[in-house]
Structure 1
């Protein structure tokens, strides 16, 4: 397909597509002549991914480029390829080293992972932004006086593990390795807001069941 058709099918303007090409977010099309290139279904799929990351996920262009670099890195195994892509996505700010609750939060999260038997997660504690995000959130809860006990955290973690199983079951329906990693990244951007919305709807439903509408 030519650029105009790629634009029509994707809903992305030709000017924006050209910008993505210049920024290295899309690989160049097959050159037909000096002024014309042809694009294929892979370009269309990648363009939709880029658009979702930028428009829905509000991910900066530089970060999109970094994520896509990991997606396309054939030298990495699947776990590291997926992890590297997801770690490049935005996370909570770096923790305040002076936070008196942070050390306890790290210990608590470490104990949580041990209780769950998540050995891979324990190995990644020094590098995973998700681990740091969880520790920062737990520290904030403690600082504000909300002392969730370990049993409650374990229950939530097990719910999230079930969600992760569903995530990767879907990812494995994709044909190529690059598509699987793309699906995982897209899932992080799009599924997490859906899960958040479902969580809030469930809270509203349970609140109405318990307390009525008064």
Structure 2
């Protein structure tokens, strides 16, 4: 397809697509003449991912480029590609490792991961910014006096585990490699606000059930 067709199918202006091409967020098309290039379904899929990251995730262009570099790194196995792309997404500001609240929170996270039998997460540990974000979240809650009991953390984690299994099952239906990693990144960018909205709506509904709407 030509640039104009890509624009029509995606709903993204040609000027914006050209900007994404210049910023290396989209791979170049196949040159058919000196002034024209041809694009395919891979470009359309990538364009949707870029829009998701920038419009929904509010991710800076430089960060999006870093994420996509990991998405396209086929020298890595699928697990490492998924991990690297996820780690490049924006994370919570981190609590200093020597902060007493962070030290206590890290011990709590280790107990949680042991109980869950999430051995790979324990092995990776501090190397993962996602792990460090969890430590920061728990440390902040503890510091403010809103500690979450381990039993509740386990409940939340088990629910998240079910969602993770479902999402990974969906990836199995896609072609191996880049399409799977692209979908995994899109899922995280798009589903995080979706899950938050569903949680808040569920709380509204449960409140109304218990106490009425008035």
Please give the range of the TM-score, normalised by the shorter of the 2 chains: over 0.9
Q: Equivalences for 1:104-183 in 2 at 5 Å?
A: 104-183=104-183
How many positions carry a matched residue from both structures?
214
Cross-structure match for 2:78: 78
Aligned to 1:211: 211
Deviations 1:76-122 (A, max 9, x none): 11111100001100010122356331110010001100111100010
TM-score (norm 1): 0.96
Deviation, structure 1 residue 140:
0.9
Corresponding residue number in structure 2 for 1:52: 52
Write the distance in 2 (CA, Å) between the matches of 1:37 and 1:137. Answer: 47
- SS of the equivalent of 1:93 reads coil
Deviations 1:47-100 (A, max 9, x none): 111111111111111111111111111111111110000110001012235633
What RMSD over aligned residues (CA atoms) do the two structures have, in Å? 1.2
Deviates more, 1:202-211 or 1:185-194: 202-211
Q: Distance in 2 between matches of 1:146 and 1:94?
A: 18
Structure 2 gap ranges (5+): none
Long gaps (5+) in structure 1: none
Q: Which residue of 2 aligns with 1:90?
A: 90
| Deviation of the 1:16 alpha carbon | 1.0
For residues 76 and 88 of structure 1, what CA distance do their matches in structure 2 show? 15
CA–CA distance in structure 2, aligned partners of residues 5 and 176 of structure 1: 27
**Distance (whole Å) between structure 2 residues aligned to residue 123 and residue 40 of structure 1:** 40
- Tell me the secondary structure at the aligned position of residue 93 of structure 2: coil
Aligned equivalents of 1:172 and 1:56: distance in 2?
Answer: 25
Q: TM-score, normalised by structure 2?
A: 0.96
Preserved CA contact (<8 Å) 2:10 2:47: yes
- Alpha-carbon distance in 2 for matches of 1:130, 1:211: 37
2: CA distance, partners of 1:119 / 1:55: 35
Alignment partners' CA distance in 2, 1:146 and 1:30? 56
Say if 2:97 and 2:103, in contact at 8 Å, map to a contact too: no
Give per-residue Cα distances to partners, 1:15-68, cap 9 Å, x unaligned.
111111111111111111111111111111111111111111111111111111
Aligned equivalent of 1:196: 196
Contact residue 26 and residue 47 of structure 2 kept, 8 A: yes
